[in-house]
Amino acid sequence: MWKCYGCILRRKALFLLLLTLSLLIYVVLRGLGQHNVSEIPSTIIKGNDNIVIFVVVKSASDLTTEYEIAHSTLRCYCAARRYPLVILDFSSNSTLSALCPQSDVTQFMFRRHCALARFLSDNSAKVEWVLFLDADIGVVNPTRMVEEYLPQNMMGDGKIQSLPDLVFYERIFNEEKEGVSTSLLLLTDFRQFWARDIWLTGSEWNEKRDFFLHGFKRKWQNSTKWGGWFSPFNLDNAKLASEMTAINCAKSGSRAKNLWKYEPRFMISMEKLDNKLFAHVREMRMQQMDYWRRVEEYALEEWEDATTTL
């Protein structure tokens, strides 16, 4: 009797959990497409010291090997635009490793967020915004500014709104969210996104659309398999790194764009790029609807089993 009753309770708890998840998904889906550029204006910040760009790696040596293109372009961009670039290297920081003991093999994503939490705790009075990037994210268009993608506390009608502590950005590739928000900001129009996977469009890009590109892993470079990519630059990795030194980029300032030498065959029109991205968005939406349908069916089955047992 007690065993059966406990089974019923577990089923009810599972049903309530699935129901809550379904309601949350419904709210998110209902909000898709409700925000546009005019509704989420950019923040204008004087001086870039308020914005820190933050990367966590297992070992700093990865930045000159596996993530060479990503790091070269990001380092150059930060030097030219005067954004502080913070690199946390677990291999050389025993204190951080002790504070964030998660496994590098199975829990590195959690470990990275632990490192970020520690950094924010230690620097909350000094930093207004932190842009947390994967190590394989590089800058393809250095004319864009991080401020363009931040919310501001003054709306168009002059009313003050509270700023979120963290901001959600929906991922085009799948249904992941790349952050979290105390007041949910879903930038569902991909034209507002600050980063995307380079392989989504076969390494093709457009300077009016793109800012950061994700997926610059050397092990997938020049591959036609899933996740494979080709460099959008016409210099090899080592030559690109040698030209994009922090000193060269800092001296170049606003003229640093001249250091980004592109491969013309990967530069396409905005219309062509949008068509490619829209196709991926449609595919992702269909997958989401299928996932949610299966969740709903499972929840209904559990509910029917629970009520039948009662």
pLDDT for position 278: 84
Nearest CA among 90, 83, 100, 85 for reference residue 62? 90
**Token couple for 248:** 């060269």
pLDDT for position 181: 32
- b/e 191-220 (16+ beta carbons within 10 angstroms → b): eebbbbbbbbbebbbbbebbbbbbbbbeeb
pLDDT for position 35: 33
Work out the number of other CB atoms within 10 angstroms of the CB of residue 284: 17
pLDDT for position 41: 28
DSSP codes joined into one string, the chain:
-HHHHHHHHHHHHHHHHHHHHHHHHHHHHHHTT---TTTSPPP--SSGGGEEEEEEES-GGGGGTTTHHHHHHHHHHHHHHT--EEEEEGGG-HHHHHHS---TTT-HHHHHHHHHHHHHHHHTTT-SEEEEE-TTEEES-TT--GGGGS--SB-TTS-B-PPPSS---B-SSSS-BSS--SS-----SGGG-SEEEGGGGTT-B-TTT-SEEE---GGGBT--STT-B--SBSS-HHHHHHHS-HHHHHHHGGGGGGG--B-GGGB--HHHHHHHHHHHHHHHHHHHHHHHHHHHHHHHHHHHHHHHH-
Run means of pLDDT, 10 residues per run, the chain, 310 residues: 48 57 48 32 45 94 96 96 94 92 86 91 86 94 88 55 62 46 36 79 93 95 94 95 94 91 96 88 79 82 73
**Token couple for 294:** 């299966």
pLDDT for position 251: 93
Q: What is the 3-state secondary structure (H, E, C) of 57-76?
A: ECCHHHHHCCCHHHHHHHHH
Work out the number of other CB atoms within 10 angstroms of the CB of residue 269: 12
Count CA atoms closer than 13 A to 303's CA, side-chain side.
11
Model pTM score: 0.72
Give residue 85's identity as a one-letter amino acid code: L
pLDDT for position 298: 83
pLDDT for position 11: 55
